[in-house]
Structure 1
């Protein structure tokens, strides 16, 4: 999985930091776990996404 965003008129692609990329992959894999007890709760997902978003550079 590759995560990138397009910003501005130049459509420049900006790569998310590796730690964020790995965190998104890990969260996605856990959300798809076969056993329900291994899946994160909605609150856990929200908390993890909030932490990941804080690590993404903000581009004006």
Structure 2
């Protein structure tokens, strides 16, 4: 259970950081752009966690 909580926390931290960066870099804040940015940030957060785990092995 602790491993799952750690994984979720790490992905959530990545997501907050990347979604915030996305919102900072776009010019117009439209609802569709927010959804696309949130989805892209989630994919990048999962990829970032996977890359970190692969590099540690």
TM-score range, shorter chain: 0.3 to 0.5
Structure with the bigger percentage of helix:
2
TM-score, with length taken from structure 2: 0.36
TM-score, with length taken from structure 1: 0.35
Larger radius of gyration: 1
Which structure exhibits the higher relative contact order, with contacts defined as CA atoms closer than 8 Å and separated by 6 or more residues? 2
Structure with the bigger percentage of strand:
1
